[in-house]
Structure 1
Amino acid sequence: MKIDAFNHVLPPAYAQRLFAIDDSPVARNVQKRVAGVPALVDMDVRLRIMDEFGPDYRQIINTAAPPLEDLGPRDRTTELARIANEGMAEIVAAHPDRFAGFVAAVSLADVDAAIEEAQRAFDDLGAHGVQIYTHFQGGPMDQERFFPFYQAVAERGNKIIQVHPCRDSSWADYKTEDRSRFEIWWTLGWEYDLSAFMSRLVFAGVFERLPGIKILIHHGGAMIPHFAGRVGPGWDQLGARTPEDQQEDITGYPLTRRPLDYFKEFYVDTAYFGAGDPMRTAIRFFGVDHTLFASDSPFDPEKGPGYIRSTIANLEEMDILEDADREAIYHGNVARLLGLPD
């Protein structure tokens, strides 16, 4: 059994509503981006792609970026969350042998409404978790106003928070420029966003305050495992590089362990787009028990099967894994975390 834990869809009713938005630059951009990826909306196309990987291959689905709160007024984004979640629940119900479940969309423009929608998705629609993004309209996700949302999900025990990056070309690469060039904002910027999100939550004490919280970081934990020396011994010297008049910049929640230890509490996926060596590094850093098989389908050059195929190939040829490790990564870990049939 292979349960692909992080894949994107646009349920038909949600896609129709999304493509009808004509007053949002963010909506126009995503309309252009996803128009050439039919497997996002057409489930017949999607199922034919999945057929390549046999009857034991299943997906957990979520909505494609951008964050809902970037698509317009608060009432609209709350409505979009409901439409998206009902649509994903319908897809799972129609094909239970192909889709192991879905992760709910929420709009954090209204935290109370986001909690309410998450609870509705859990209780009425069977969602296995929620998807959030690495920032809220350019602001950090360790703001105290988001803590009740994290707490509400953590208290449900077997629900997970999936984290997806979301910066765009307006995030310039240099102070002297207005925009990011050559899609650096995507290739490198998204990985910085994920890493910064993880860091801010660690120093905000999320794992100290909510020891049962389950957070899945997309793209294998991004930069963190590849800079383990800086994250470990480097952050053990927190404050050594900060002037006395900037001490507020290094004041966070009182931590009782090394920063490095908290980073290892995140769960990560295998969405490395066929790059086996970085995947190996991430598995070594986070451990087999914190690694979930995921491909990020259908955003590969083939519009569906490419990243699935290459990710499986990476895991099959990885010399640091025993058969039991592969079984855990392919389905055992996600089944344990979400209470799925093993």
Structure 2
Amino acid sequence: MTVIDVFAHVLPAKFLAKMNAIHPNILDNFPYMKNDLLTDVAQHRASLPADHQQIISAVNLNPEDFVGPDQAAELCRQANAEIADLVRANRDIFPAGVAMLPLNNVPAALQLIDEQVAGSDALVGVQLFTQALGKPITDAAYEPIFAKLAAVGAPIWLHPVFDTHKTDNELTFSWEYELTQAMNGIVAAKYFRKYPGLKVIVHHAGAMVPYFSQRIKYIQSAENYADFKKFYVDTAILGNPKALELAVDFFGLDHVLFGTDSPFGIPPVGPTAVIEQAVRDMDLTATQQQAIFTTNWQALMD
């Protein structure tokens, strides 16, 4: 049985070189990105267990944080082409990739969706972050992106970043809070009702939502509670089968996809083995486990 990891990261080498030309030694600002598995396909391939595939998305080295709108759009265009080439050259391990968008140039972002994602044989969706340019991803300026992706049927991969207005950011808890707030913002904005085709895959098993689902149920409206269940989530919480069972209980088995955040989390090659074992330790049948590992992804892409 092939295991499909829907949330694994790369840092395309040509894109990194372009970013270094703009901002020399750029990774000094992001030391966790100094990982050869992100850029070296041979090492990345060697790190994967047998019969595993990954849906690849870029790490959060976002052009809009460094350059103006036109240059950001071109950098995203080139990076997306590079990710697509990685997929086409390595179909046995990368069946699909996820595109980047320039959030300081929404018209160009919409054009990139049309040109590089809709109908693509390699790029099947886009990655968005919980914040962009100091604004929440649900800021009105970004709503056309949600509308466009719903219209073309391409999922959003929702990844956390720090809220730059906060001074106490840290990796253990802050990113989970940011994901939860972004989910709450998407629900509050009624995007699932306005755009019925919208599909959002949330990193880290839906963050705080499964644990606080009853607070959502009794504090928010019944419509909001139902909308929270429309998110898809991955399994990237570094193990913890009981927590993953909570995610299945709330979102439903068919909305939980195997994802690891590789190559991050557990050195030297990432947490794939730990998270895979956690899924196998869940109180699920073999068929239900296979749904998380493979068939839920296939159904999402149908």
- Tell me the TM-score range normalised by the shorter chain: over 0.9
4+ aligned runs moved over 3 Å, structure 1: none
Alignment deviations for residues 230-278 of structure 1 (CA, whole Å, 9 cap, x no partner): 1111224xxxxxxxxxxxxxxxxxxxx4311110000000001122222
- 8 Å Cα contact 2:155-2:200 kept in structure 1: yes
1:203 matched to 2:199: no
My pick for the range that moved more, 224-233 or 38-47, is 224-233
Aligned partner of 2:42 in structure 1 is 44
What secondary structure is seen at the aligned counterpart in 2 of 1:273?
coil
What secondary structure is seen at the aligned counterpart in 1 of 2:157?
strand
Aligned partner of 2:295 in structure 1 is 332
Measure, in 1, the Cα distance between the counterparts of 2:71 and 2:172: 30
Alignment deviations for residues 279-302 of structure 1 (CA, whole Å, 9 cap, x no partner): 221111111100010011001232
Instruction: Give how far 1:100 is off.
Output: 1.2
1:309 matched to 2:294: no
Distance 1:138 1:44, change over 3 A: same
- 8 Å Cα contact 1:27-1:71 kept in structure 2: no
- 8 Å Cα contact 1:7-1:294 kept in structure 2: yes
Correspondent of 1:133 among 111, 129, 134: 129
Instruction: Give how far 1:110 is off.
Output: 1.1
1:147 matched to 2:143: yes
My pick for the range that moved more, 310-319 or 135-144, is 135-144
Instruction: Give how far 1:42 is off.
Output: 0.4
Measure, in 1, the Cα distance between the counterparts of 2:228 and 2:273: 29
Measure, in 1, the Cα distance between the counterparts of 2:178 and 2:24: 27
Alignment deviations for residues 36-88 of structure 1 (CA, whole Å, 9 cap, x no partner): x11000011000001xx21x210000000143321222222212211211111
Instruction: Give the TM-score normalised by the residue count of structure 1.
Output: 0.83
Aligned partner of 1:85 in structure 2 is 80
Alignment deviations for residues 286-328 of structure 1 (CA, whole Å, 9 cap, x no partner): 1110001001100123232x41001110011112x11121111
Instruction: Give how far 1:20 is off.
Output: 2.5
Alignment deviations for residues 8-27 of structure 1 (CA, whole Å, 9 cap, x no partner): 10111011112223289x86
Task: Name the aligned partner's letter for residue 150 of structure 2.
Answer: A
Task: Name the aligned partner's letter for residue 330 of structure 1.
Answer: F
Aligned partner of 1:76 in structure 2 is 71
Mark the runs of 5 or more structure 2 residues left unpaired by the alignment: none
Instruction: Give how far 1:4 is off.
Output: 0.4
Instruction: Give how far 1:124 is off.
Output: 5.1
Alignment deviations for residues 149-200 of structure 1 (CA, whole Å, 9 cap, x no partner): 111111112x2100101116x543xxxxxx32xxx43221111111111111
- 8 Å Cα contact 2:9-2:59 kept in structure 1: yes
What secondary structure is seen at the aligned counterpart in 2 of 1:58?
strand
Task: Name the aligned partner's letter for residue 7 of structure 1.
Answer: A
Measure, in 2, the Cα distance between the counterparts of 1:212 and 1:96: 27
Measure, in 1, the Cα distance between the counterparts of 2:228 and 2:159: 17
- 8 Å Cα contact 2:244-2:282 kept in structure 1: no
Distance 1:329 1:60, change over 3 A: same
Percent identity between the two aligned chains = 32
Measure, in 1, the Cα distance between the counterparts of 2:6 and 2:256: 10
- 8 Å Cα contact 1:67-1:166 kept in structure 2: no
Mark the runs of 5 or more structure 1 residues left unpaired by the alignment: 173-178, 237-256
What secondary structure is seen at the aligned counterpart in 1 of 2:262?
coil
Task: Name the aligned partner's letter for residue 253 of structure 2.
Answer: V
Instruction: Give the TM-score normalised by the residue count of structure 2.
Output: 0.94
Aligned partner of 1:235 in structure 2 is 220
My pick for the range that moved more, 290-299 or 78-87, is 78-87
